[in-house]
Chains A and B, each alone.
Chain A
Amino acid sequence: MAGPISAQGAKRGFAVPQVPKIAVYVIGFIPAVWLFYEGVNDRLGADPMRYLEQALGLWALRFLIASLTVTPLRQLAGVNLLRYRRALGLLAFYYAALHLVTYLVLDQGLDFAAIWADIVKRPYITIGMATFVILVPLALTSNNAAIRRLGGQAWARLHRLVYVAAIGAALHFLLVVKSWPPEPLVYTAIVLVLLGYRLVRSLAKKASPRRRPA
């Protein structure tokens, strides 16, 4: 029977070339640097502010999804990218923060009355803002000191909030568009598959309890 693959088993699966973690950040920030560069030089099309805002949000969702693929990749394909998961998650947070700053400063021009009205009245803004708020404690505790302080179990429980954030991010995307264009539907489907996989796996685990180590 195919049980969960242990960490050792995963290591035996695929040899992933050991790229330094800093490379993930360097590569991860290329889209942001490129977007700002093109934006400042007015090369982001007719509606550059909106393009920048949407692209940053989309990259946040992409990195969130990337961080959620680490576990299934390890369990299903034996590819262990665990050492890059923190970088992927933090990149998602950084892009979400840039997306939010773009909204606050460039889109709304720091018109706090309009921003507050948006947060209270517009479900997609409410959801987007809530999603960002959820990501804040996750980003703040994405370091070894926080794991030690909280203890592995409490830390893991806290970081399950990323599932809520992923749903929030997908909903935020779906609610901002007119009708049901394919792109947000595809991203939502990916999020649902990644979360559904975890749900099915945890249900299967409960159905056939394995002997736990003492």
Chain B
Amino acid sequence: AAALSAVKSPLSATDEKLTSREDITTYNNYYEFGTDKASPAAKAKTLKTSPWTVKVDGLVAKPADYALEDILKPVTLEERIYRMRCVEGWSMVIPWVGFPLADLIKRVEPLGSAKYVAFETAFRPDEMPGTDTIFPVLDWPYVEGLRMDEAMHPLTILAVGLYGETLPNQNGAPIRIVVPWKYGFKGIKSITRISFVEKQPETAWNKQAPDEYGFYANVNPKVDHPRWSQATERRIGEGGLFVKRRPTLPFNGYADQVAQLYAGMDLKKFY
């Protein structure tokens, strides 16, 4: 991992103890490299992250295959310390390095008809052993999406590093989304395509189990996963065997900044 220089951001959650680098980089859900939490750290080394291009297409004035270096050239990298709440009921505090997704969106000039942004993860069975199974765990490639206002929100970032260094592969190298008020699965990793679309795009987990994983997937202690409660969470690295559950906060504690995006929406229906 190479060092990255980044400026501090007022949007960081500075009152929280950081999860250790060790835990952040060894406890991962990245099913392209296996369903076990330890698999991505063990197996993701095979992913070739350089050279890397991101295809930008759809309802956009400047569609192209952008080299990662060109995407990063004009941006100022920031450190963003965010809480990360997994839909499984655990959480971390991660010092990401990245830049607002809005910066990139503005540069490629979406058309007025673009209402959503769709993302796609690399799909390379040769480099991703978890995709090469008899029963696919998910319908590959992994796809995700955001409403345009969510994508443009200042909290939404494209992350390229953590703890001041480039992302380890298991954390979604070389470039991934982080949307801190949503469950972790919305943070699509190793992005190869960004499409601007009119209709709400399909998302990988929603396709797998539509009644369990919604398009919005906003962290919400009042809306349970059909099979488990979302009222509390375990903070990784806190207490070891004797970890204490802490209450999960609406919008993962970012309600002040993002609740207005969903004014008037029934969050039980749009989970």
A137 CB-CB contact with B under 8 Å? no
Given contacts A106-B241, A123-B227, contact A182 B236 (CB under 8 A): no
CB within 8 Å of B: which A89-123 residues = 106, 108-109, 111, 114, 117-118, 121-123
CB within 8 Å of B: which A115-167 residues = 117-118, 121-124
Interface footprint category on A:
20 to 34
**Whole-angstrom CA separation of A178 from B205 in the bound complex:** 9
B133 CB-CB contact with A under 8 Å? yes
CB within 8 Å of A: which B28-81 residues = 31, 35, 37-38
B229 CB-CB contact with A under 8 Å? yes
B240 CB-CB contact with A under 8 Å? yes
Do A109 and B244 have beta carbons less than 8 Å apart?
yes
A16 CB-CB contact with B under 8 Å? no
A45 CB-CB contact with B under 8 Å? yes
Partner of B37, one of A47, A108, A117: A47
Partner of A50, one of B22, B205, B224, B234: B234
Do A49 and B37 have beta carbons less than 8 Å apart?
no
**Whole-angstrom CA separation of A111 from B245 in the bound complex:** 10
Given contacts A122-B227, A123-B227, A180-B135, contact A46 B242 (CB under 8 A): no
Given contacts A122-B227, A178-B88, contact A48 B234 (CB under 8 A): no
Do A49 and B241 have beta carbons less than 8 Å apart?
yes
| Chain A nearest Cβ from B21, distance in angstroms | 11
B27 closest partner in A (C-beta):
A46
Partner of A48, one of B22, B229, B240: B240
A-side binding surface: helix, strand, loop or mixed? Answer: helix
**Whole-angstrom CA separation of A96 from B229 in the bound complex:** 22
CB within 8 Å of A: which B127-159 residues = 133, 135, 137-138
A202 CB-CB contact with B under 8 Å? no
Given contacts A39-B241, A50-B90, contact A122 B208 (CB under 8 A): no
B209 CB-CB contact with A under 8 Å? yes
A7 CB-CB contact with B under 8 Å? no
Do B241 and A181 have beta carbons less than 8 Å apart?
no
Do A45 and B27 have beta carbons less than 8 Å apart?
yes
Residue numbers in B under 8 Å from A123 (CB-CB):
227
Do A179 and B138 have beta carbons less than 8 Å apart?
yes
Residue numbers in A under 8 Å from B22 (CB-CB):
46
**Whole-angstrom CA separation of A182 from B130 in the bound complex:** 11
Do B137 and A46 have beta carbons less than 8 Å apart?
no
Partner of B240, one of A39, A124, A181, A182: A39
Do B35 and A175 have beta carbons less than 8 Å apart?
no
B26 CB-CB contact with A under 8 Å? yes
Partner of A179, one of B208, B227, B232: B208
Q: Which of A42, A46, A106, A123 has the most CB atoms of chain B within a 10 A radius of its CB?
A: A46
B11 CB-CB contact with A under 8 Å? no
A185 CB-CB contact with B under 8 Å? yes
**Whole-angstrom CA separation of A49 from B242 in the bound complex:** 7
CB within 8 Å of A: which B213-249 residues = 224, 227-229, 231-232, 234, 236-237, 240-245
B211 CB-CB contact with A under 8 Å? no
Do A46 and B37 have beta carbons less than 8 Å apart?
yes
Partner of B228, one of A49, A122, A183: A122
Residue numbers in B under 8 Å from A109 (CB-CB):
244-245
A52 CB-CB contact with B under 8 Å? yes
Show 21 A/B contacts (Cβ-Cβ < 8 Å), sorted by A: A39-B240, A45-B26, A45-B27, A45-B37, A46-B22, A47-B90, A48-B240, A49-B234, A106-B243, A108-B245, A109-B244, A111-B245, A114-B231, A117-B229, A121-B229, A124-B227, A178-B87, A178-B88, A178-B205, A183-B35, A185-B135
Q: A46-B22, A121-B224 are in contact. List 16 more A-B contacts (CB 8 A).
A: A40-B241, A42-B241, A45-B38, A46-B27, A47-B90, A49-B234, A49-B240, A52-B241, A106-B242, A114-B229, A118-B229, A121-B229, A122-B229, A179-B35, A180-B135, A181-B137
